[in-house]
Amino acid sequence: MHSKQSKWLWAAALFVYAFLYLPLIIVVVYSFNDSKLNAEWVGFTFKWYEILFNDAQMLTAARNTLLIGLVTSICATVLGTLAGLAMHKYKLRLLPLLVLTPIAIPEILMGVSLLIFFVMLNMTLGLVSVTLAHIAFCIGFVAIVVRSRLQGMDESLVEAARDLGATPVQAFRLVTMPLIMPGIIAGALMAFTLSIDDFVITFFTAGAGASTLPLQIYSMIRIAVTPEVNAISTLLMILTLCLILLASKLAPSALRAE
């Protein structure tokens, strides 16, 4: 009886994993297919990657994506770390609600509200508006990671530093900061990953000439899913997985929280 249940569990697990990963594997495989059609396999080739790296529009979109992701991760990490420290220290009920609400609300609502906000400010939509929008929704994710790291920290170490004569600033710089640094780095990597993957909010807040890789891919698949789309999707997937693995390695408990 027990053996029969195990077989069913294995079968269910295999079905779920196949459902999750088979489409991704197909995209990767067909990015090396020597045919413009995704219907049949005719041979192995790297030519779609060569075409990709010679595509000026794609290179511009990649440059915009990396630039936005870099600025977003820096700003969101600073603000998110401060928010995480505040939530851990002051225990105010309203503070977590204010910081974490942008994570919970639907992306389309976030995108529309930011678009209306930028229009009210008479701000020209472009790279700056996209970057500000990405910072807004990434702060909460960084704050969660940093607060989780703080909750696992031994507070007696800070108290010992204070007893030995360290000022609050010195105790934070020499004790607290090194202990939560893995969480801060993991939060920065999460912010970068979320920024380069985001489509919905970017769609609403990007103006002319501010195309990113997700927007460029969307414009290409409106005609057809070409091998070039498969190639850029594969590269984006590899970059995202590497960043997530690195973040989970640095702060595994933090990434499991909430």
Whole-structure pTM over 0.75, yes or no? yes
pLDDT of the residue at 257: 45
Reported as a single tens digit per residue, the pLDDT across 188-241 is: 988 998 998 888 999 999 877 778 888 888 887 777 677 888 888 888 888 888
Q: Is 44 helix (H, G, I), strand (E, B) or coil?
A: strand
Residues 177 and 149: beta-carbon distance below 8 Å: no
pLDDT of the residue at 258: 44
The position carrying tokens 């204010």 is 98
Domains of the chain: 55-250 (1.10.3720.10)
Q: Kindly tell me the burial class for residue 207, based on how many C-beta atoms sit within 10 Å of its own C-beta (0-12, 13-18, 19 or more).
A: middle
Band of residue 71 on the pLDDT scale cut at 50, 70, 90: very high
Residues 64 and 127: beta-carbon distance below 8 Å: yes
Band of residue 75 on the pLDDT scale cut at 50, 70, 90: very high
Reported as a single tens digit per residue, the pLDDT across 5-21 is: 778 888 888 999 898 88
Dihedral sign, CA of 104, 105, 108, 111? negative
Reported as a single tens digit per residue, the pLDDT across 87-107 is: 888 877 788 878 888 888 888
Count Cα neighbours of 6 within 13 Å in the Cβ-side half-sphere: 3
Band of residue 145 on the pLDDT scale cut at 50, 70, 90: confident
CA distance 119 to 125: 8
Beta bridge partners of 33: 44
Residue 49 above 80 pLDDT?
yes
- DSSP per-residue letters across 20-33: HHHHHHHHHHHTTB
